[in-house]
Amino acid sequence: MGKQLTHVDSAGRPAMVDVSGKPASVRVAVAGSRVRFPATVAAALRTQGMASAKGPVIDTAIIAGTMAIKRTAELIPFCHPLPIDGCRIGIDWADARTLAIRCEVRCVHRTGVEMEALTGASVAALAVYDMCKALSHAIVIGPTRLLGKRGGKRDVGEVG
């Protein structure tokens, strides 16, 4: 039989997955997002040391992403609240106009942290947009995607 949606019960209604029977293990997920600026905005940010009128862009985005990771279960209806053991958000230039955001999340639990990593990367990108929108509304976010996960039934992509 093919793959099936996991957040649907036998009657086709939305349901949280019961993970009580799974063994706890180390779970790691890495997600990434991109923020692309118009050339003039990217040049201005570099000249200003990645600060905007609202303050330090990178530091603010890291804090926002970290806060989002810890609140993912409040934002995504069927996510389990998880005891986050560690997270790291890195932000650097991928090219002359694009910031690359990398968010890694770790925990020991019975379910994975993919949604936490994706939420952290997404909110960090949104914070960059918010910090820089006074310079331009032509800033583009995306793609945001899972880069890898480890732990649970299967490993996907690269983690580490």
18: annotated active-site residue = no
Extract the tokens encoding 11: 């009657």
Catalytic residue among 18, 92, 130, 155: 130
Angle between helices 57-70 and 114-132 (to 10 degrees): 150
Catalytic machinery residues: 130
